[in-house]
Amino acid sequence: MSLHTSTTKPDGEGHVAQMHASTLSKSEAESLTFLSSEVRKELQEIEEEDAIHTCGKAALSILRSRPLEALQLAKDHIQYQPYRDVERCWLRLYEDASLSRAAELLCDAAEGFPEQVPEAKDWMLSIVRVLDLGLIVSGGTIRGELYEALFANLEPFVAKLDKNDSIPISFNIEQPKALQSERLVPTASEPSLEVFQLHLDNRTTPLLLTGVIADWPAMSTWRDPSHLLRLTLGGRRCVPIEIGETYTHADWRQEIMPFRNFMQHYLLPPQPREIGYLGQHNLFHQIPALQREIRTPDYCFSAPPEITPISRLGFPPTPPVDEPQRNVWLGPKGTRTPLHTDPYHNIFCQVLGYKYVRLYPPEATENVYPRGVDENGINESNTSMVEMNFDCETSGNVVVEDAELFPRFGEWREYREAIVGPGECLYIPAGWWHYIESLTTSYSVSFWWN
């Protein structure tokens, strides 16, 4: 790949200033023009077996000259059917059209947007949003390196854009009361892989692990909001956020927003007006710099027993994964994940803040009232109908909404629970039902394997 990946790191931080492109120096404008040219060169290289050819000659003919039309064409084929059914060619068209549009915007920024054009307020945010949407929608499977190189080459401009817009910010994390319970998850201090394997072979039950992620750079760097802004181009990188109490509520929705907006409105306030959650999104693929600050626990390379509890709920057998699947979970106090079960074994690592977790074994499935298939034919049997929340004041009392509707739930007393704090990891076996609630602003990383 010919596009050079810059290693220059910005030293600016904080909110994004509203600067017109005319403030660019001649050399900076030339740099953006060069980037645009290099992106266009890269896009001319398409392998014969590339699925994008299936879109047809008409689609490819407008890809470089009219990228907005190409984006709309791809979007029309993507949004009107389940994502899993979308033909690969339209995802590839969206991927390349996003890059082509970004190249167009780079040239516009170099020449100076007219003052009345929205992009003039923050030329970089406009480009970054197009690129991030391209990554999120398409997966960036073919042009991933090109996306990453583009973001790296934009980094040196951040310091100048944000130099007069720095504010002191920090997370307000208050340690909750200790959990008063007779059903605490057992704790093991940094067990060896052999000891952990014995636990899987003999018990396969939840286990709270300590001392496992102390060497992660993220344990210190992710506590600093300014560091996270630097890794996201001054907070301009755009991420998908779940808005609302939980995905089972009617008012739940998703929005794509700049990371700085997510942080300002949801992560920093001690009591945000509503819940905004970055969950189950492959943020490490989108922003590889974050991935370099964590390490996969050795336990994810153990050999768990071959169980398929999810198949009892009407789901197909879970395909094996070649390597652990990593997800980041960022959210404010009050973020709740409904009681549900997953087909993967999970090492759930807590980096910042505290989370309450309650767990029920697969044998409790009837007692947790699985939802079943909804009116649209979507199987929601891995999620319970029981709604609950943790009462911090009593430090151990879980309130169940409409408990009289779920009498069998209260009869099952063999659950386990824990408050997972910074530096701790919770092993959740495949098939175990678990409810999770953030007691503070919280950053977590999960590793799924089977």
CATH number at residue 389: 2.60.120.650
Q: Do the domain assignments include residue 312?
A: yes
| 350 and 279 in a common domain | yes
| 152 and 26 in a common domain | yes
| 197 and 146 in a common domain | no
Q: Do the domain assignments include residue 125?
A: yes
Q: Do the domain assignments include residue 15?
A: no
Q: Tell which residue, 151, 54, 157, 48, has the closest CA to residue 99.
A: 151
The answer to whether 290 touches 283, Cβ cutoff 8 Å, is yes
The answer to whether 413 touches 341, Cβ cutoff 8 Å, is no
| 241 and 112 in a common domain | no
The count of domains in the chain is: 2
| 418 and 323 in a common domain | yes
| 198 and 158 in a common domain | no
Cα–Cα distance for residue pair 137/132, rounded to 1 Å: 8
Task: Among 128, 162, 196, identify where a domain stops.
Answer: 162
| 325 and 284 in a common domain | yes
Q: Do the domain assignments include residue 63?
A: yes
Q: Do the domain assignments include residue 368?
A: yes
| pTM of the entire predicted model | 0.88
pLDDT tens track, the chain, 450 positions: 456 544 333 333 333 334 344 478 899 999 999 999 999 999 999 999 999 999 999 999 999 899 999 999 999 999 988 888 999 999 999 999 999 999 999 999 998 876 655 555 688 999 999 999 999 999 999 999 999 999 999 999 998 888 766 665 788 899 999 998 999 999 999 999 999 999 999 999 999 999 999 999 999 999 999 999 999 999 999 999 999 877 667 678 899 999 999 999 999 988 888 999 998 788 999 999 999 999 999 999 999 887 655 666 767 777 888 899 999 999 999 999 999 999 899 999 999 999 999 999 999 999 999 998 777 777 888 899 999 999 876 656 788 988 899 999 989 989 999 999 999 999 999 999 999 999 999 999 999 998
Domain coverage including residue 348:
187-449
**Radius of gyration over alpha carbons of the chain, in Å?**
24
| 78 and 214 in a common domain | no
Q: Do the domain assignments include residue 224?
A: yes
| 201 and 102 in a common domain | no
| 78 and 195 in a common domain | no
| 417 and 362 in a common domain | yes
Q: Do the domain assignments include residue 214?
A: yes
| 41 and 91 in a common domain | yes
